[in-house]
Amino acid sequence: MAKDEYTVIVSTAAREALHRHVEFLARVSIPAAKRLSASFRKELQKLAKDPYPYTNEDSPALPPNTYKKAFISQWHKLVFLIDKKYVFIDYVVDCRQSDEKSYKN
């Protein structure tokens, strides 16, 4: 790992949410499910290099100016926070749902 890289930690809730989204997509379109998985992996690499250019997550369900967001597809985003040299991905959100429903397990 390069000295200026961040360690990305994916929470259990984020892994489970991604799994549910990919599994749902695979029932409709296997290529779409593969694209979502590939996009997630690519975004992890980008976050490890520099997580700061991403915009703040402005959901009323979350504390203000704490979380950032990264879109991994037209309808999915990662919600994460940065602490020193760590990036904690807390959730993968399906943006077609309301905020209140999206952040619940």
* Domain residue limits, the chain: 7-95
Q: What is the pLDDT of residue 4?
A: 74
Q: What is the pLDDT of residue 59?
A: 87
Identify which has the larger pLDDT, 60 or 15: 15
Q: What is the pLDDT of residue 98?
A: 57
In the structure, what pLDDT confidence band is assigned to residue 66 with cuts at 50, 70 and 90? very high
Residue 63, pLDDT > 60, answer yes
Segment 1-40, tens digit of pLDDT? 456 799 999 999 999 999 999 999 999 999 999 999 999 9
* Fold type of domain 7-95: YaeB-like fold (3.30.2310)
Mean pLDDT of 56-66: 91
75: left (phi over 0), alpha (psi -120 to 50) or beta: alpha
Mean pLDDT of 79-84: 96
Global pTM reads 0.84
CA–CA gap between residue 34 and residue 40 (Å, rounded):
10
Helices vs strands, H then E, count in the chain: 3, 4
